[in-house]
Amino acid sequence: MEKLTNRSVQVNRNPMTISERAYIPSILKGLSITLGHIFKKKATVSYPEEKRPFSPVFRGLHILNRDEEGKERCTACGLCALACPAEAITMEAAERKPGEENLYREEKYAAKYEINMLRCIFCGYCEEACPKDAIYLTETVMPSNYTRKSFIYKKDDLLIPNTNKQG
């Protein structure tokens, strides 16, 4: 058969020579290899102190965004829930009452907004589907927890803090 690459090497089946059977040269060779590894760069990243950079397209935990005046952008249209392949998002819509104009941008808003992080596959389709630029995936890795319940993120967990109110 014709060789596909030049990388194959014939296995050497000759009986061992005296120097090979004495085993000492090969031990010295092995020792020199391990000795060399002492001075090599360590592969370890000491995690909490030192973090590896994420790729620019990394998709982590979701946030619900606000507009420039600190009003919630989400209008509970349900497109994100529709786009979600894992069916992780549920929401309940409510109508904005008079006097709440500084809280919600439009007449309809999400009274409840939940993402089940155990179902979520972090595909980012919700981000793509949103017509109001309300939901984004951040670079935060989902933290671990002890109960299943704690993985259902409520609106309070998702909504970014209102910086306008504080300032």
Binding stretches for other proteins (CB under 8 A): 27, 30-31, 33-35, 37-38, 40-44, 46
Residue 14 beta carbon to other proteins: minimum distance, rounded to whole angstroms: 19
Closest CB to other proteins among residues 46, 147: 46
Residue 1 or 35 having the CB closest to other proteins: 35
CB-neighbour burial class of residue 96 (10 A; exposed 0-12, middle 13-18, buried 19+)? middle
Cβ 146 to other proteins shortest distance, Å: 22
Where b means 16+ CB within 10 Å and e means fewer, 19-52 reads: eeeeeeeeeeeeeeeeeeeeeeeeeeeeeeeeee
Look at the block and give the residue holding tokens 């994100």: 80
For residue 127, the minimal CB distance to other proteins (Å) is: 37
Do the beta carbons of residue 81 and residue 91 sit within 8 Å? yes
**Judged by CB, which is closer to other proteins: 46, or 144?**
46
CB of 44 to other proteins, least distance (A): 4
